[in-house]
Structure 1
Amino acid sequence: MSFSAIGSFIILVADIYAIIQILKSPAKGVEKLVWSLVVFLLPLLGLVVWYFAGPGKKPF
């Protein structure tokens, strides 16, 4: 198994975790849909953006 395959698997698991957390969040339906699409369509970038600014996150 190559390093890129391992990295891809880790990102996939993290994205699935993020989408589950998004769906469990108290955000409204449309906000959940948008965040889920961002994480799904932009796997690594969407994950990072969700981590820092996703639903339920406090502003800096």
Structure 2
Amino acid sequence: MDIFTGLGGLIVLILNIWAIVKVLQSGAPGLNKVLWILLILVLPIIGFIIWFLAGPKGA
């Protein structure tokens, strides 16, 4: 059971890092980037889902 918890946490971490990199590469204004990154960091799973659906797209 612990291996699934650890694997799930690793997947969430990788997805959040990918989302943050994509936010930084986007053409969004600086304050918007900061807010998106804070959302992803504070609410890792929900923040990622919201970013994936409504976040800034690539440059």
TM-score greater than 0.5 by the shorter chain: yes
Structure with the bigger RCO (C-alpha within 8 Å, sep 6+) is 2
Q: Partner of 1:13 in structure 2?
A: 14
Report the alpha carbon displacement of residue 36 of structure 1 after superposing the two structures with TM: 0.3
Q: Partner of 2:56 in structure 1?
A: 55
Q: Partner of 1:31 in structure 2?
A: 32
TM superposition outliers: structure 1 runs of 4+ over 2 Å: none
Structure 1 unaligned residues grouped into runs of 5+: none
| Structure 2 residue identity aligned to 1:15 | N
Aligned Cα root-mean-square deviation (Å): 1.4
- Structure having the larger proportion of residues in helix: 2
TM-score, scaled relative to structure 1:
0.90
Distance 2:57 2:15 in 1: 18
Measured against aligned partners, the alpha-carbon deviations of 1:7-54 in whole angstroms (never above 9, x if no partner) come to 000000000000000000000000000000000110000000000000
Structure 2 unaligned residues grouped into runs of 5+: none
